[in-house]
Amino acid sequence: MSRLVVVSNRVCDPESNPSSGGLAVCILDGLRERGGLWFGWNGEIVSEEKELTLSCTKQGEVTLVTMPLTERDYQEHYLGFCNAALWPVHHYRQDLSRFAQENCEGYRRVNRRFAESLAPLLGKGDLIWAHDYHLIPLAAGLRSLGVKNRIGFFLHIPFPPPDVLRAMPEYEWLMKSLVQYDVIGFQTKTDEANFCRFLCEIMNGEMVAENAIRIDGRIVMVTVVPAGINVESFAAMARHPYASRYIEGLHRRGEPRVNIIGVDRLDYSKGLPDRFRAFRRFLELYPHHCKAATLMQVAPPTREEVKAYADIRHELEALSGEINGEFGDFDWTPVRYVHRNIPRERLAALYRGSQIGLVTPLRDGMNLVAKEYVAAQDEEDPGVLILSRFAGAAEDLEEALLVNPYDADEVAHAIQRAIVMKKEERIERQRSLLARVKQHDADNWIRSFMRALESPKIPLAA
Ligand code: ADQ
């Protein structure tokens, strides 16, 4: 079996950072199985380029190779280009995108440095798998250094329609770089179709098979492999006696009969202000639920140096204050809002102890929280998942109550419908949802992508 080399913006070591997400754990499992190397940023920031040294740690068959970024890289590449330009455009928010040429240069510089640092570590038969929008030009960098290995790329975030992407200066360079990968994986059919349209309509690409495009004298394979979670380990956490004790504690303290849970990084793509407004609408439309329902929102901060993220924090704090002031009482707080990371065991307990999982991003690549909520339910008395139509997960999780997150009334009615839903219907929906979450679990994600990466190349003349 070929050695696997994973490249991602951040290398998360779940052993030293147990709160790192499920995907990091799965990637590490995939690397352990084949033996491999994980390369990326270690999260540290140094002041000068001369401090940019590689660190290497070995964990059995897996080698983690990491390097810091300079303060300038962090500002220009990470905050400036990745998170203030690419992220909003990919989430259909051109209005929030801030493009600056020096940030784009920072992005090029870091990708070039990653390629130069990684190339000498590669063996002939290694399969390389790069993750996400931070690394679009990595393959082009490696190719310019003579690397001939198979290189795959997985986009965790949406791929927008062609006209949206064209709002990004330098999009032509970005797409020409992207097609230097051999295999490009997407979360959903919509993303894949947008990408193919872009290449064919704007860049003279040509579909030569259902999953292959000829462009710039090479063939690029495309594939849809939805990211998933490790269902069994998440379900086990939710069934643990710790979870039951935690849930009992929740009920004793506040006595709410309906817990509604939301768990998201504090990101404008997650639609948190719209969710809070929909909850307020629910309280207006169904006043008899006052004192019975509580929205528990966990929203740890991210990327706070980017203005749009600071803005959303203020908006959310103001909204939760308004709702609690208007509807709350001394014995009932309608919105409970926690602005920090919490251990995964507690998350699992919160999901299980909540009658409703409210997952309403305005746009999301996949959304693993929706899958975690399903995995955590008690199959004999499950809760109801309310899911945005604009989350990648909605392409698959059809038995959730699918809603338009921009429509406060629709979300409010869905909350009401979930509250009064008969147990038989909840069980029926849960059974189908769980089967789908299991079918597209993390293991399947890794295997499907690796299968595509290992599959024989389509000849150029096809
Ligand atoms: P994210 O945008 O980070 O990922 P998501 O898929 O929801 O979004 O995953 C978030 C993860 O972080 C979940 O595992 C969740 O449990 C965890 N998490 C969130 N809040 C937490 C908290 N307060 N404490 C602890 N853990 C918390 C990107 C894309 C998504 C895509 C994933 C995977 O934006 O669309 O689903 O990659 O491909």
For 183, other C-beta atoms within 10 Å of its C-beta total 26
Compute, in angstroms, the gap from residue 64 CA to the centroid of ligand 1.
Answer: 22
Residue 440 in contact with ligand 1 by CB distance below 6 A: no
Q: Which residues contact 458 (CB under 8 A, 6 or more apart)?
A: 208, 209, 212, 219, 221
Statement: residue 255 has pLDDT above 90: no
Q: Which atom of ligand 1 is nearest to the CA of 263?
A: 20
> Distance from the CA of 38 to the center of ligand 1, in angstroms?
20
- Looking at residue 196, its pLDDT comes to 98
Other C-beta atoms closer than 10 Å to the C-beta of 98 total 14
**Average pLDDT score, the chain:** 93
Q: Is the CB of 294 under 6 A from ligand 1?
A: no
Dihedral sign for Cα 385, 337, 25, 67, please.
positive
- In this prediction, residue 118 carries a pLDDT of 98
The atom of ligand 1 lying closest to the CA of 22 is 14
Ligand 1 contacts CB of residue 369 (under 6 A): yes
Average pLDDT over residues 172-179: 97
Q: Are 383 and 425 in contact (CB under 8 A)?
A: no
Per-residue pLDDT for 256 more than 70? no
Q: What is the mean pLDDT of residues 91-100?
A: 96
Q: Which residues are catalytic?
A: 156, 364
Does residue 106 carry a pLDDT above 70? yes
Q: Which helix (H) or strand (E) holds 186?
A: strand 183-186
Which runs of consecutive H residues, i.e. helices, occur in 94-230?
101-118, 138-144, 162-165, 171-178, 189-197
Report, as an integer, the average pLDDT of 151-176.
Answer: 97
Predicted confidence (pLDDT) per residue in 182-222, tens digit: 999 999 999 999 999 999 999 999 999 999 999 999 999 99
Query: Does the C-beta of 298 come closer than 6 Å to ligand 1?
Result: yes
301 C-beta closer than 6 A to ligand 1: no
Q: How many helices and strands, by DSSP H and E, does the chain display?
A: 17, 16
Q: Is residue 45 in contact with ligand 1, taking CB distance under 6 Å? A: no
7-41 pLDDT, tens per residue? Answer: 999 997 766 665 556 677 778 888 888 889 999 99
Q: Which of 263, 298, 313 to mutate to test the pocket of ligand 1 (most atoms within 8 A of CB)?
A: 263
| pTM reported for the whole predicted model | 0.96
* Whether residue 260 has pLDDT greater than 60: yes
Distance 411 CA to ligand 1 centre (A): 22
pLDDT at 310: 85
- The residue whose CA has the least distance to atom 21 of ligand 1 is 341
pLDDT for 16 equals: 66
Q: Is the CB of 21 under 6 A from ligand 1?
A: yes
Comparing 8-22, 343-357, 442-456, the range with the smallest average pLDDT is 8-22
- Rounded to the nearest angstrom, the distance between the alpha carbon of 456 and the centre of ligand 1 is 33
Of the candidate ranges 91-95, 110-114, 257-261, the one whose mean pLDDT is the lowest: 257-261
List, for residues 73-89, the tens digit of each pLDDT value: 999 999 999 999 999 99
Mean pLDDT of 108-136: 97
Can you tell me the mean pLDDT for 305-318? 88
* 404, 407, 410, 414: CA torsion to nearest 10: 60
Q: Region 92-104: what's the mean pLDDT? A: 96
How many Å apart are CA 349 and CA 372, to the nearest integer? Answer: 11
Taking CA atoms only, the protein residue closest to ligand 1 atom 17 is 21
Nearest-CA residue for ligand 1 atom 38 is 156
8 C-beta closer than 6 A to ligand 1: no
Is residue 237 exposed (0-12), middle (13-18) or buried (19+ Cβ within 10 Å)? Answer: buried
Choose which residue among 8, 231, 340, 368 to substitute to test ligand 1 binding: the one with the highest number of ligand atoms within 8 A of its C-beta.
368
Position 248 scores a pLDDT of: 84
Ligand 1 centroid distance, CA of 191 (Å): 19
Question: Which has the closest alpha carbon to 149: 445, 458, 447, 457?
Answer: 457
Res 454: pLDDT: 94
Position 303 scores a pLDDT of: 86
- In this prediction, residue 382 carries a pLDDT of 98
Q: Read off the pLDDT of residues 34-84 as tens digits, 9 standing for 90 and up.
A: 889 999 999 999 999 999 999 999 988 999 999 999 999 999 999 999 999
Mean pLDDT, to the nearest integer, of 116-141?
Answer: 97
